[in-house]
Amino acid sequence: MIMKWILVFCVLAVGQEIASTQDNSPVHTLPDAPSAWQVVPNYRPITPDERVHWFVKSTVGPGSLLLKGPFSAAIGTAQNKPSEYGPHWEGFGKRYGMRLTGVATGNLMQATLGAIWGEDPRYFPSPTRGVGPRVKHVVLTTFLAPHRDGRYYPAYARYAGLVGSNFLSNTWRADSAATTDRALARCGWGILSRMESQASREFWPDLRKKIFHK
């Protein structure tokens, strides 16, 4: 229920920001956080090699393999969900592998469709300082992505990868997890995971400097 309301709030905030920009803001008079028409400063289109690098790092990079994967599998094992896998190390391995196949499928769809549609999957930090504008930037760019012209538009390739992979994975998931409701829930968690990842990229460099004085 909490996740549902968080997602509703995020979608409404994005819609309000886009609408306000359409009504009140010229193309070159932009709000602090990006709208569907804001240009990424000094933008350079992603190359094929960079797109492949993004896919590999997002799928089997340390953040996915060593942090999110084990954490997700541990929670599922502790709760014994889905119950078909059991609350033991074998079940942990199955849950870990199941998440990895879903992530790989979604990222591959996003990278492939993004190449066709000109959508850039990379995250670009906020050009504006201040906690409020940067948080707003993180939320909005969870749903928006830059295209070849450097302007932000709805991230359709990301949506397709997220929704497509979660429903496609129903074909190889345990029966109790292969339902429409569970697939929709995974889509919601996927959005929050993307938002969390972007927040880390936005704020961690500053926090690291303060913590380690570098």
Q: pLDDT (tens digit, 9 = 90+) per residue, 6-50?
A: 444 344 444 444 444 444 433 333 344 444 448 899 999 999 999
Q: What is the mean pLDDT of the chain?
A: 84
Which residues have a Cβ under 8 Å from the Cβ of 98 and sit 6 or more positions away? 169, 172, 173
Phi then psi for 145, rounded to 5 degrees?
-145, 150
Model confidence pLDDT, tens digit, residues 58-75: 999 888 888 888 889 999
Integer Cα distance of 209 and 109 in angstroms: 36
Q: If you search the block for the tokens 């996003």, which residue do you land on? A: 110
Model confidence pLDDT, tens digit, residues 75-108: 999 999 999 999 999 999 999 999 999 999 999 9
Integer Cα distance of 56 and 214 in angstroms: 29
Q: Sketch the domain layout of the chain as residue ranges.
A: 2-212
The pTM for the full model equals 0.78
